[in-house]
Amino acid sequence: MQELTHYIDGAHVAGQADRTADIFNPATGEVQAKVPLASADEVDKAVAIAAAAQPAWAAVNPQRRARVMMKFVQLLNRDMDKLAEALSREHGKTLPDAAGDVQRGLEVVEYCIAAPQMLKGEFTDSAGPGIDMYSMRQPLGVTAGITPFNFPAMIPMWMFAPAIACGNAFILKPSERDPSVPLMLAELMEEAGLPKGILQVVNGDKEAVDAILDNPVIQSIGFVGSTPIAEYIYGRGCSNGKRVQCFGGAKNHMIIMPDADMDQAADALVGAGYGAAGERCMAISVAVPVGDDTADRLIEKLIPRVEALKVGPYTSGNDVDYGPVVTAAAKANIERLVQTGIDQGAKLVVDGRNFSLQGYEDGFFVGAHLFDHATKDMDIYQTEIFGPVLTTVRAQTYEEALTLAMDHEYGNGTAIFTRDGDTARDFAARINVGMVGINVPIPVPLAYHTFGGWKKSVFGDLNQHGPDAFKFYTRTKTVTARWPSGIKEGGEFSIPVME
């Protein structure tokens, strides 16, 4: 049984609180490791170490901080296979999907190499008689991130890379379900030249989260997870005077117009709906074909594709489409919601309820499900299932399809598949969702744009990565300066003396 640790002040540190959580192998259902759950006192000690280390790091010029990011990128590429394997072992993702998790985080680190440019202030010469004005972007101090199980490499890097590039220290509280990769990332950052104490990993549950929320030294908190917890963290963190950025749940719609390429749309839906077993906040979980003919053609294309999906452990090779979900509780919740959909009248056209994988009967595998004729009052439409379940809601017109997506409480991502430019432009302009794809099923922006949803998918003013990250992890100071001219008639040839 592997015993994991925290990572404090440049060293692996055993937990002191005598509380642990089990880390499962999702493919077998077996406990493969234990992770310590930090007490509030352990969190406070890590914060104190970070606070002591941060001023010296902030004094390092941005170009030298960027060089640490350059080296970190090199090390991530060097250890890509090792990181992907560790991620797959605890999360259950296929190896290519796990490598993609690391890669999308790496791309944000690459963007952070631009810290010298992003941290430049503004200057106004002669704003008044003899007066100049300029602004400076300065680090906040100690910052923190609370990250989810579904992207244990990408989302931590989305947070700590810009925070550290800006001159902050960072406390990372990763998911207790798959914490090995975050611990490995902290080691790699120090190998890249980051001073001890600037990036620390504290494992834990709600006690650690509350300690982060209440610690007066921590200046900002980033979070990704479910909407109820996002609301809790945002409310408590803001009431404690912190800058808080929280990303919550999603129910992402993909609208399929009658003129869409049905093969392209079906392929996109299968990848976006079932990849990573649907455990993505940007997964497409609702297909909205416009018109019954469009719906019939789409379902006809989808059924054989969904039925042909290969489900298995990451050790079965790179041709596996998706692996197990993360826990037995997650599996039970997905199965409960599927049954609810049946009970409420949706038509289950691909039934994955009896899926079983020989040799892995105790694993957390869930078969692929496809619903048709669902309606917006059903639980499977309203709730984020976070599993391999695609729900089809038929719309008779474009306006009805648009209204479905706009009326839903979540507004993370959406997509439309069409050959008509007018429809696509109208959709992009009117939809009240933060990230929009046009013939692109998962519209996750690249690292130099910002990532963020609308409505109950986000709490806070600034998005993740891109230019917003440098705004979130710094505060602006504006200086107005006036100097005496010092110009005198004639020259002085004697040594000045104090009068």
Note the pLDDT of residue 488. 60
Q: Which residues contact 38 (CB under 8 A, 6 or more apart)?
A: 6, 15, 17, 46, 202, 203, 204, 207, 208, 211
The separation between CA 485 and the C-alpha centre of its own chain, rounded to angstroms, equals 52
- In the chain the first and final C-alpha atoms are separated, in Å, by 78
Mean pLDDT of 375-400: 98
Mean pLDDT of 276-300: 97
Note the pLDDT of residue 318. 87
Note the pLDDT of residue 493. 67
Helical packing angle, 180-191 and 62-78, nearest 10°: 130
Q: pLDDT by residue (tens digit) across 158-168?
A: 999 999 999 99
d(CA 283, CA 437): 12
pTM, rounded to two decimals: 0.94
Chain length of the chain: 499
Note the pLDDT of residue 1. 81
Query: Among residues of the chain, what percentage have pLDDT more than 90?
Result: 94
User: Above 90 in pLDDT, residue 475?
Assistant: yes
Cβ contact 286:251 at 8 Å = yes
Catalytic residues: 281
The dihedral formed by the CA atoms of 439, 443, 447 and 448, expressed in degrees to the nearest 10? 60
| Mean pLDDT score of the chain | 96
d(CA 163, CA 143): 7
- Helix, strand, coil shares of the chain, percent, nearest 5, are 40, 25, 35
Note the pLDDT of residue 73. 98
pLDDT band at 496 (very low <50, low <70, confident <90, very high): low
User: Above 70 in pLDDT, residue 492?
Assistant: no
Note the pLDDT of residue 497. 60
User: Above 80 in pLDDT, residue 489?
Assistant: no
